[in-house]
Every structure is written in structure tokens, then in C-alpha cells.
């Protein structure tokens, strides 16, 4: 793949395509557009193929951790760069390239700003080509690597809330401490984490995930209304399963996650941030990591689960998992078990 110099139009496509691939999660369109514009105002990020790198090159995941709605949050461009600088110093080796953890409206553009500021190459790669609810689902199956030490750094906050934080330890412990650091920083921190070799990333992640999001967004924004929805499902090899009014919408926010159920046109969906199941009269039609997504029936604008409201007119699309770029975590029974525990429906029997 030739290197791709990213521009405003590609950024818009990436955000809207990421919103579709978010499957109900992955952040907000407005936040993705804001972050993408900031990156492009500061420079022109270049998307590079994983095939350009040697097997032993070091890749790092970048993200934001915390609560974007927190009133005291403060993350500036320098914080993004600083978290990478701290991690590189901790590793005592250069970082060869950076990438996001997942596709989503707010996450597909993770890394664009960091690349512009630091000059570290930006990968056409995500830990997972669709959004997912748990951090371990976006950790490249490192939970299965014996004695893997997770290195993570966080930077954010201002004045007496300013934090520079680094930790090494197990994946779970390190992630927990980073989230606590985000609270101390006012609600949000820029994070760099989990260095892996290029060979390991290629075997366990989703090469090409960012260009797929751009292509999906191009299909979505290239038409209007029903034609745009049809263009998206044609691009991804999916189908429009249902269309109708949102009814019986129930959402509970617990442990930082949105969990609930919703009915659209007689079809019932469960969600744990992302849509997990789709059923009709008790018959299972799709199960995460299949992509289940809602779009406004008139405008085709993607609607995440946190934005659902009774009375909305939505279309429901489904894309089989075989047509998605997925992490090896999506085939890990241990990592999928929590889905059943949260939504109280069988999942594993439909996946494995």
C-alpha cells in the first residue's frame, strides 16, 4: 500500500465510517471530528502500512482514558506527545509506529495528533477493526502471553491536577491504575501503552482497519438517506435487517458502561456500549462480534447506543463477523464470557 497523506475529507470519512464500525460504541462523531481537525490544523498525518516495518519493530497503542464529559478534564496536544516520550524513555528504545485500539467515531482518529506532533509514523492498523466493550478485547490477546509486562503511561490535567504517570505490571493492574490516574487528573488522560513487535501486532490485530473505516465513510457520505445506508451495507457485505420506531428503550449506566435493551420495528437488541445481540421473536439473528448498528432512517447518520431515544426512526444493519477486520481477542472464549454475564443472554454458543 502506498503511503496515504490524510486530509480533511479523509478525516471526515474516517470518523463517520468509524462510527458505523463502532457498532453502537466507539465514541461520538462530534468528538472524533474535533480531534481530527486539530491534528490536521497542526500538520498532515501520513497513514502507513504495517508491511513497511520489520518484524521486530516496536508498535504502541495510543488512546484517551477517562470520562470525556468530566468538567475538570484537561488534555492538550503536549500531553499526547509527553505520554509517548515517557513511554519511550521507560522502554529505553524508540517507538517505531503508533496506532489506535479500535474503530469508532471517536477512536479511529486516535494517533493522528500524536503522529503530527512527534513525527512517529501512524499505522493503518487497530487492535480491533470494530469497537468492543472491554479493555482486554483491545489488548491484542496479550492476556494469553505468559509473563507479559504491560508498560503504560498517562499525561493530563492542569495546575495542581497535572499528572505524569507511568506503570509496569499485569495488563489488568496497569489499566486499573491508569484509570485512577485519569480521575486524579480531572477526568481524562492521554495514554500510550502495551508495546508489541510488528510481527505480533500483525498476527493478532487488524491491519487495514483505518482505510476500511475511510472507505465505509466514503460510501456513507457519498449518498443520502436510504441510498447511503444501502451503500454502506453493500460496501461491508451486510444487510438492512429492520427499520422502524425505537420502543422499549432501557439503559442503565453501571461501572462506566451503558447496558440495556432496545426494540426497533419488532426486533430486540441488547447492548453493552456496543450492540451485543439481535433477535426477532426469540430467534437469534446476530451476535457480537457480528456488527450490529443503527442509523437514522432519514439522514443515515450513525446513532450510538448512548444517543438512543424512544420514538426515533432507525434502520438496523448487520454485517457478519467474517467481513470485518477483527482481533484474535474476538476468538478468545475467556474474553467473551463477560458479555454473557452482563447481558444475561447466551453468547458463546453462537460464536464458537
Q: What is the mean pLDDT of the chain?
A: 94
Percentage of residues in the chain with pLDDT exceeding 70? 98
Q: What is the mean pLDDT of residues 127-156?
A: 94
Specify the pLDDT at position 179. 84
Q: Is 184 helix (H, G, I), strand (E, B) or coil?
A: helix
Q: How far apart are CA 198 and CA 97, in angstroms?
A: 9
Comparing CA positions, the residue from 256, 245, 350, 265 lying closest to residue 308 is: 245
Specify the pLDDT at position 341. 93
Band of pLDDT at residue 69, cut at 50, 70 and 90: low
Q: How far apart are CA 190 and CA 179, in angstroms?
A: 11
Specify the pLDDT at position 337. 95
What's the pLDDT tens digit per position in 234-276? 999 999 999 999 999 998 877 667 899 999 999 999 999 999 9
Band of pLDDT at residue 67, cut at 50, 70 and 90: low
Poorest-pLDDT segment among 41-50, 108-117, 177-186: 177-186
- Omega of the bond leading into 66 within 30 degrees of 0 (cis): no
CB contact set of 146 (below 8 Å; sequence gap of 6+): none
- Output the CA angle 44-14-267, nearest 5 degrees: 170
Specify the pLDDT at position 216. 98
Cα separations in angstroms, 151 against 57, 84, 238:
16, 11, 38
What's the pLDDT tens digit per position in 308-336? 999 999 999 999 999 999 999 999 999 99
332 burial (CB, 10 Å; 0-12 / 13-18 / 19+) is: middle
Comparing CA positions, the residue from 190, 138, 135 lying closest to residue 165 is: 190
Q: What is the mean pLDDT of residues 210-215?
A: 98
Domains and their CATH numbers in the chain = 4-207 (3.40.1610.10), 225-327+346-351 (2.40.390)
Percentage of residues in the chain with pLDDT exceeding 90? 83
What's the pLDDT tens digit per position in 8-58? 999 999 999 999 999 999 989 998 999 999 999 999 999 999 999 999 999
Amino acid at each position: 500500500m502506498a503511503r496515504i497523506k490524510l486530509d480533511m475529507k479523509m478525516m471526515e470519512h474516517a470518523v463517520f465510517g468509524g462510527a458505523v464500525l463502532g457498532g453502537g460504541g466507539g465514541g461520538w462523531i462530534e468528538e472524533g471530528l474535533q480531534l481530527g481537525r486539530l491534528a490536521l490544523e497542526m500538520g498532515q498525518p501520513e497513514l502507513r502500512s504495517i508491511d513497511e516495518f520489520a518484524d521486530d519493530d516496536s508498535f504502541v497503542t495510543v488512546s484517551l482514558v477517562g470520562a470525556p464529559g468530566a468538567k475538570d478534564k484537561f488534555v492538550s496536544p503536549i500531553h499526547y506527545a509527553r505520554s509517548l516520550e515517557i513511554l519511550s524513555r521507560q522502554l529505553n528504545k524508540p517507538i517505531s509506529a503508533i496506532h489506535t485500539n479500535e474503530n469508532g467515531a471517536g477512536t479511529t482518529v486516535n494517533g493522528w495528533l500524536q503522529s503530527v506532533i512527534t513525527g512517529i509514523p501512524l499505522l493503518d492498523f487497530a487492535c480491533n477493526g470494530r469497537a468492543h466493550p472491554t479493555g482486554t478485547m483491545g489488548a491484542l490477546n496479550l492476556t494469553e502471553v505468559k509473563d507479559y509486562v504491560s508498560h503504560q503511561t498517562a499525561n493530563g490535567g492542569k495546575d495542581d491536577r497535572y499528572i505524569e504517570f507511568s506503570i509496569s505490571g499485569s495488563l489488568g493492574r496497569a489499566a486499573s491504575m491508569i484509570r485512577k490516574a485519569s480521575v486524579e487528573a480531572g477526568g481524562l488522560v492521554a495514554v500510550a501503552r502495551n508495546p508489541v513487535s510488528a510481527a505480533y501486532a500483525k498476527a493478532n490485530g487488524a491491519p487495514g482497519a483505518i482505510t476500511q473505516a475511510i472507505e465505509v465513510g466514503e460510501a456513507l457520505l457519498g449518498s443520502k438517506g436510504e441510498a447511503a445506508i444501502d451503500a454502506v451495507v453493500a460496501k461491508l457485505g451486510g444487510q438492512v435487517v429492520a427499520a422502524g420506531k425505537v420502543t422499549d428503550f432501557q439503559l442503565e449506566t453501571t461501572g462506566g458502561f451503558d447496558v440495556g435493551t432496545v426494540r426497533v420495528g419488532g426486533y430486540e437488541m441488547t447492548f453493552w456500549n456496543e450492540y451485543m445481540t439481535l433477535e426477532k421473536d426469540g430467534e437469534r439473528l446476530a451476535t457480537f462480534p457480528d456488527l450490529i448498528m443503527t442509523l437514522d432512517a432519514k439522514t443515515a447518520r450513525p446513532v450510538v447506543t448512548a444517543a438512543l431515544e424512544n420514538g426515533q426512526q432507525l434502520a438496523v444493519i448487520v454485517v457478519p463477523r467474517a467481513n470485518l477486520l477483527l482481533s484474535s481477542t474476538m476468538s478468545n472464549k475467556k474474553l467473551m464470557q463477560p458479555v454473557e454475564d452482563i447481558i444475561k443472554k447466551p453468547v458463546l454458543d453462537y460464536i464458537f
